[in-house]
C-alpha cells in the first residue's frame, strides 16, 4: 500500500528479474549453449550478449536462424525455459538483498516486474523466492510486441499498474534493460551485472548506479526520480 507521506513523483517501482533479483544470466547461457550444441547448432561467444533482453520469441528465432538449430522456435523456447525452470527448482540463485529490497520498496509503492523471461519462469521464481505477493503486476516480454531494448515491456508494466511511465522508477542491470526502461520514460537505477556489464553509453542513461541490491532503499528511489 502506498504511504500517504510518499512524494507524488514516484507512483511505482518496476524491477527487472534476470540479473537483478536472480543471478540467472549464466544459467540461461549454459542451458542455451548446451541445447544448441546438442541439437546440431553452432554456438559462438557473442551469442549470450546478443540475446540479452530479447523476448523468448526473439531469442528462440535467433537460436534457429543464427545458431542453426533446426527446430521450430516455439519448441526451442519451451525446451530451454523448461530446463531453466528445472534448475531453479533445484537451487534458486537469488542475488544478495533481493528479497529485502523487494519488501522494503513494496511497503512504499506498488511494484511491477518487467522481464524477458518466459511467463512460467517468472511465476516460478517469484513463488520460490516467496515474493509473488509483493508484485501488483508482472509482464513477460513474450506478451508484448518487442523485447528489450524496445520499451514495450516497461510500458505494459506501467499500464497494468495504472500509472504513468514517467512516474515509475525501474531497477535494471543490463545494456538493453537500461535502454528499455529509459525509452519508456522511467527513471532508472542500475545495478550492473558483473559478468555481463552494461555498455558505458547505456550506463550513462541511468539516474543512479549501485554495486548491489543491498544498497537499494526507498530514499535512493526518491532521489533517482527527483
pLDDT, tens only, 161-192: 999 999 999 999 999 999 999 999 999 999 99
83: left (phi over 0), alpha (psi -120 to 50) or beta: alpha
Grid cell at residue 119: 511467463
Task: Kindly list the distances between the CA atom of residue 63 and the CA atoms of 42, 86, 92, 124, 166, in Å, as whole numbers in the listed order.
Answer: 9, 20, 25, 24, 35
Domain membership flag for residue 6 = no
CATH code: domain of residue 117: 3.40.50.1000
User: Which listed residue (4, 18, 23, 173) is catalytic?
Assistant: 18
- Tell whether omega for the bond before 149 is within 30 degrees of 0, i.e. cis: yes
Q: Are residues 105 and 31 in the same domain?
A: no
Kindly report, residue by residue over 88-107, the tens digit of the pLDDT: 999 999 999 999 999 999 99
Same domain assignment for residues 35 and 52: yes
Q: Could you say which of 55, 73, 90 is where a domain stops?
A: 90
Domain that holds residue 79: 25-90
58, containing H or E segment: helix 56-65
119 and 162 part of one domain: yes
Give a yes or no: residue 4 inside a domain: no
Query: Does 53 reside within a domain?
Result: yes
Output DSSP code: residue 210: -
User: pTM of the full predicted structure?
Assistant: 0.90
Same domain, 97 and 86: no
Query: Could you tell me where the beta strands, DSSP code E, fall in the chain?
Result: 12-15, 111-115, 137-140, 168-172, 187-190, 208-209
195 is catalytic: no
Of the residues 4, 16, 23, 219, only one is catalytic, namely 16
Q: pLDDT tens for the chain, 226 residues: list them.
A: 333 334 448 999 999 999 999 999 889 999 999 999 999 999 998 898 888 878 888 999 999 999 999 999 999 999 999 999 999 999 999 999 999 999 999 999 999 999 999 999 999 999 999 999 999 999 999 999 888 999 999 999 999 999 999 999 999 999 999 999 999 999 999 999 888 899 999 999 999 999 999 999 999 999 999 8
List Cα–Cα distances, 71 to 23, 63, 81, 88, 104, in angstroms: 28, 9, 15, 25, 44
16 flagged as catalytic: yes
Amino acid at each position: 500500500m502506498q504511504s500517504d507521506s510518499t512524494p507524488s513523483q514516484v507512483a511505482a517501482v518496476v524491477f527487472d528479474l534476470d540479473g537483478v533479483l536472480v543471478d540467472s544470466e549464466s544459467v540461461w547461457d549454459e542451458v542455451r549453449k548446451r541445447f544448441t550444441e546438442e541439437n546440431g547448432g553452432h554456438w559462438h561467444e557473442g551469442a549470450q550478449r546478443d540475446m540479452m533482453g530479447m523476448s523468448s520469441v526473439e531469442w528462440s528465432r535467433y537460436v534457429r536462424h543464427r545458431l542453426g538449430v533446426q527446430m521450430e522456435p516455439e519448441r526451442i523456447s519451451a525446451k530451454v525455459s523448461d530446463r531453466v525452470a528445472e534448475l531453479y527448482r533445484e537451487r534458486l540463485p537469488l542475488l544478495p538483498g533481493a528479497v529485502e529490497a523487494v519488501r522494503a520498496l513494496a511497503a512504499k509503492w506498488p511494484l511491477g516486474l518487467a522481464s524477458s523471461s518466459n511467463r512460467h519462469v517468472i511465476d516460478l521464481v517469484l513463488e520460490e523466492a516467496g515474493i509473488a505477493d509483493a508484485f501488483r503486476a508482472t509482464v513477460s516480454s513474450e506478451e508484448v510486441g518487442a523485447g528489450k531494448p524496445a520499451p514495450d515491456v516497461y510500458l505494459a508494466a506501467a499500464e497494468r499498474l495504472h500509472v504513468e511511465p514517467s512516474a515509475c522508477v525501474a531497477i535494471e542491470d543490463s545494456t538493453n534493460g537500461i535502454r528499455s526502461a529509459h525509452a519508456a520514460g522511467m527513471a532508472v537505477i542500475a545495478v550492473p551485472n558483473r559478468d555481463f556489464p552494461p555498455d558505458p553509453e547505456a550506463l550513462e542513461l541511468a539516474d543512479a548506479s549501485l554495486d548491489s541490491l543491498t544498497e537499494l532503499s526507498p530514499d535512493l528511489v526518491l532521489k533517482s526520480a527527483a
